[in-house]
Structure 1
């Protein structure tokens, strides 16, 4: 009995040491789980059970336990009963992790939305497309590519694909969804949100309200070595600012997304460790800093919240889209935009048509050239908040392809030389999916 007691005491001590050592990590695990659960349930309309067994079912997030209060629209998560974190849903602003001092009675501005659905066929309206057969398209090859995207390997669903759309000359050639999903399912784009932020700058540039070549309007930088960083440098993620983008541990990005009230500040507080225009480094902090700079362009918070919907999102009929905000009301431009797959595809089509939507120019055609110009030192892989194939990363795919990319393989591919937009969503990226093979099969099917 005494021996068993000693063993129990030792185990308790070891557990205590492990918990103490990983305390901050538990904070982030709980935070991720609560935020993911809240958005999945209250933004996307999925069940707690579905979210637990899919979106939150990976290590180490799956050690967290979630509780959802549907009446208060709050999701709570903890690990072994420790480090409880809460995320609350706010209509129009999505879900956000909150702190203990959060005031539920506070009045929070929300974006005004317009939901006019035109009585024309997709993509310019909500009506069904007419059947169209293109003689230069190998439909069997397109279908083979889609089948590949959903195919299991040795009975294991390693690709975890949820949705695929292939659109040629505005016409849907192929569309398929995994079980439990359909064309009305809202899906998180993760870092595809970065490309939305870039688009907002393109619109302001076109309207003459901002110049991306100007120095970044950050007061703290005016009298130190960061003073020469431009908005352009930030859009190309080539500012030279310090940042650690590592989701496997406590890093700058995980602290920002799961611990900070104001996500526009962390990157602004970082020192210069390289030279602007000579040091490319992928940084979600930079995207949120750009969201903060964007907010400064408007006289009111309401104007900032309304802008992307008024001038872009609702204008092209992406009515399902919602960009989530942090506790201070800043759009989380790095990570948190939701929309139905067909609406995400409209985003790709807007770029395929070089900023023109059904006759209305939303941003200058030259903006497409700007965002697809490779960032110095990126090996032809990155432009202004878009990923590129200019360096031939996908060797069997046209080099003019560019894309909005997100965590776990969220993709909107724009391929001008083939007049194509290809959309893929899932829970696995290149670790489970060969995107070069997938895209090559599709692009070579267009003669």
Structure 2
């Protein structure tokens, strides 16, 4: 009897020990915030083992570099959320060219709905004569060329009007960062037979709880939103186009978006910037630089990048999304997308997360 009692006690003890260990060994479930309201779960830096003594230097750097807002999310939960210079969680801010990724997403949704095919020529949706190029050259340009910045159209003028869209090279033979991507909005509008904004709102914005709007800028339409709305899109991107139980954008298209889209600039997908590649090009030139886009950032990072250092960094290996909104880190050089700010910022981030 004594032996049986000891055996039972031992079994119970071992069972309790196993139960205690199980939660510690179970990966944390990914979190999506509710689509409405301000509720958003947080996670402490201490629980992640981060270096909290490096947080203040990061904040000081962000403030010094004219940042308005900054967020780090891990597994969907907010680890760091900071606002500077009067900016608040309710304030909207322009994404600038980081919003190109929203257009790429809308294109993918329209394609999965059977409304268009990105491999079809643009003139199939917009009609011929949407450029000033000869018809045989215009007909070479597909939506995919616009998604990958390889239209071959002249890039020396920012305003996208027919007279500025002149032939420079055959589509697919030259990579050049160009505002002509905005013609994709017209493609979606024509294919869906509704205004692009309405299609975008119903198929993407409203489904993930974003709060934002497209505003016509001096050159092209620019998306404005709160920092948390930008983070929502970042979370969907981290989950390969999925939001909660719904696959908003099919995974195949999304993975194409964040993969090298052509051989000229391997650091570019479908309007997404890609880290960890062997070489890259930057807006405004034809120079090819060797090495990764942001060498000190995780190699698997992909990013939405806009003028004045608007950023969504997505890092799958760390289940992390990083958001930065604000004025240009260097007011004398507002830039188009890439800047030296990325490397300097990642030095500060690495000091916290490593």
Q: 1:354 aligns with which of 194, 216, 240?
A: 240
1:375 Cα shift?
3.9
Match of 1:406 in 2: 306
1:289 Cα shift?
1.4
Q: 1:278 aligns with which of 146, 161, 173?
A: 173
1:341 Cα shift?
0.6
Question: Do residues 237 (structure 1) and 237 (structure 2) align?
Answer: no
| Equivalent position SS for 1:413 | strand
Match of 1:423 in 2: 323
> Which runs of no fewer than 5 residues in structure 2 stay unpaired?
1-30, 278-291, 334-338
Question: Which whole-Å CA distance do the structure 1 matches of 2:261 and 2:110 have between them?
Answer: 21
Does the C-alpha gap of structure 1 residues 151 and 298 become closer, same or farther in structure 2, counting only changes over 3 Å?
Answer: closer
Matches within 5 A, 1:25-36: none
Match of 1:122 in 2: 33
Does the C-alpha gap of structure 1 residues 397 and 121 become closer, same or farther in structure 2, counting only changes over 3 Å?
Answer: closer
| Contact 2:70–2:83, Cα closer than 8 Å, also in 1 | yes
Q: 1:289 aligns with which of 183, 196, 214?
A: 183
Moved more, 407-416 or 134-143: 134-143
| Contact 1:412–1:422, Cα closer than 8 Å, also in 2 | yes
1:142 Cα shift?
6.4
Question: Which whole-Å CA distance do the structure 1 matches of 2:32 and 2:252 have between them?
Answer: 28
1:437 Cα shift?
3.3
Does the C-alpha gap of structure 1 residues 305 and 397 become closer, same or farther in structure 2, counting only changes over 3 Å?
Answer: closer
| Equivalent position SS for 1:225 | helix
Does the C-alpha gap of structure 1 residues 222 and 299 become closer, same or farther in structure 2, counting only changes over 3 Å?
Answer: farther
Q: 1:160 aligns with which of 66, 87, 94?
A: 66
| Contact 1:215–1:229, Cα closer than 8 Å, also in 2 | yes
Match of 2:139 in 1: 227
Deviations, residues 260-286 of structure 1 (Å, cap 9, x unaligned) = xxx5x438x6232123222000011x1
Does the C-alpha gap of structure 1 residues 411 and 326 become closer, same or farther in structure 2, counting only changes over 3 Å?
Answer: closer
Match of 1:147 in 2: 59
Name the structure where helix makes up a greater proportion of residues.
2
1:445 Cα shift?
4.7
After the TM superposition, which segments of 4 or more aligned residues of structure 1 sit over 6 Å from their partners?
none
| Equivalent position SS for 1:421 | strand
| Contact 1:355–1:363, Cα closer than 8 Å, also in 2 | yes
1:444 Cα shift?
6.7
> Which runs of no fewer than 5 residues in structure 1 stay unpaired?
1-119, 153-158, 245-251, 257-262
Does the C-alpha gap of structure 1 residues 401 and 160 become closer, same or farther in structure 2, counting only changes over 3 Å?
Answer: same
| Equivalent position SS for 1:423 | strand
| Contact 2:234–2:314, Cα closer than 8 Å, also in 1 | yes
Question: Which whole-Å CA distance do the structure 2 matches of 1:351 and 1:397 have between them?
Answer: 18
| Contact 2:41–2:78, Cα closer than 8 Å, also in 1 | no
1:421 Cα shift?
0.7
Deviations, residues 129-188 of structure 1 (Å, cap 9, x unaligned) = 345346334051662463143253xxxxxx111110111111111011112111111101
Does the C-alpha gap of structure 1 residues 359 and 137 become closer, same or farther in structure 2, counting only changes over 3 Å?
Answer: farther
| Contact 1:374–1:382, Cα closer than 8 Å, also in 2 | yes
TM-score (structure 2 length as normaliser): 0.75
| Contact 1:123–1:346, Cα closer than 8 Å, also in 2 | no
Does the C-alpha gap of structure 1 residues 394 and 361 become closer, same or farther in structure 2, counting only changes over 3 Å?
Answer: same
- The structure, 1 or 2, with the larger RCO (C-alpha pairs under 8 Å, 6+ apart) is 2
Does the C-alpha gap of structure 1 residues 443 and 176 become closer, same or farther in structure 2, counting only changes over 3 Å?
Answer: same
Match of 2:162 in 1: 266
Matches within 5 A, 1:165-314: 165-217=71-123, 218-220=127-129, 223-244=135-156, 252-253=157-158, 256=159, 263=160, 265-266=161-162, 270-284=165-179, 286-301=180-195, 304-314=196-206
Question: Which whole-Å CA distance do the structure 2 matches of 1:350 and 1:146 have between them?
Answer: 26
1:122 Cα shift?
3.0
Match of 2:288 in 1: none
Question: Which whole-Å CA distance do the structure 2 matches of 1:150 and 1:326 have between them?
Answer: 26
TM-score (structure 1 length as normaliser): 0.60
Question: Which whole-Å CA distance do the structure 1 matches of 2:57 and 2:170 have between them?
Answer: 43
| Equivalent position SS for 2:207 | coil
| Equivalent position SS for 1:272 | coil
